[in-house]
Amino acid sequence: MIDFSQFEKKADVVFKDKMLLKQAFLHRSYLNENKNSGLAHNERLEFLGDAVLELVATDFLFKRYPKKNEGELTSYRAALVNTQSLSKASTELGINEYLLLSKGEAKDTGRARLIILADAMEAVIGAIYLDRGYISAKKFIEKNIFEFMDIDEIVRKKLWMDSKSNFQEKAQDKTGFTPSYKTIKETGPDHSKHFFMAVFVGDKQVAIGEGESKQEAEQDAAEKALAVKGW
């Protein structure tokens, strides 16, 4: 039995409706193995939490960067609320320990788990909003997502750009070459492929990425290439 009161202590929020908190951690896959649980999965809460998070992030950035235009602010917001940022914040908060998943999903530790963690963070935000109101949700977001992120560094280093775009801009600026990508391996059946993509600058291979799609593998390769180059 999962003790959600420990999460309440760590998150510094006490729920009036404890079942609402439990629902925030309940992944759709759990219901496939527990059809008679009488519970609902967390996707509606995730939908609500996503909207609350976007509003809080927009307000935060609007006040922090009064001279930035709407296009720049949109990009910065994307960095604050993307899957990578949310899954990292979710991990810091220990959300992984409270997830209710199917046995199959519980074994997955790859990108699929990161998405589940990010979605659960949004569901928790939605649950806090319903149970405690907007101010409590805002405080939770600022403390558990914004506070440990160096937002000024994100802006200065253009970390709000996706890795592929960021690497292309840096490579063109520093070498004059536009990066190219090549599939070096595919594994798995047709319905569940796993791709390995290499990124090249000129004729030199810089890094290899992997993912469930070529696009995902290219992003992973670009992220690793930025680290290899120290960019």
Given a cut of 70, whether residue 4 has pLDDT beyond it is: yes
| pLDDT, tens only, 180-204 | 999 999 998 887 889 999 999 999 9
Class for domain 4-156, per CATH?
mainly alpha
Q: How many CB atoms lie within 10 A of CB 231?
A: 14
Q: Is the pTM of this model over 0.95?
A: no
Given a cut of 70, whether residue 159 has pLDDT beyond it is: no
CATH 3.30.160.20 intervals, the chain: 163-229
56/81 Cα distance (integer angstroms): 10
Percent of the chain with pLDDT over 70: 95
82/1 Cα distance (integer angstroms): 31
Given a cut of 70, whether residue 75 has pLDDT beyond it is: yes
Note the pLDDT of residue 143: 93
Note the pLDDT of residue 157: 67
Q: Residues with catalytic annotation?
A: 50, 122
Residue count of the chain, please give it: 231
User: Which whole number is the average pLDDT over 69-97?
Assistant: 89
What stretches of the chain adopt beta strand conformation (E)? 180-187, 194-201, 204-211
CATH 1.10.1520.10 intervals, the chain: 4-156
Note the pLDDT of residue 109: 60
Note the pLDDT of residue 225: 96
Q: Which residue has the higher pLDDT, 81 or 162?
A: 81
Q: Using DSSP, state whether 130 is helix, strand or coil.
A: helix
The topology under which CATH files domain 163-229 is Double Stranded RNA Binding Domain (3.30.160)
| pLDDT, tens only, 214-228 | 998 999 999 899 999
107/77 Cα distance (integer angstroms): 32
> Exposure pattern of 7-39 as b/e (b: 16+ CB <10 Å)?
beeebebebeeeebbbbbbbbebbbeeeeeeee
User: Which whole number is the average pLDDT over 28-51?
Assistant: 90
Among 187, 209, 213, residue whose Cα is nearest residue 197:
209
191/75 Cα distance (integer angstroms): 33
Q: Supply 57's token pair.
A: 């992030």
Q: How many CB atoms lie within 10 A of CB 205?
A: 14
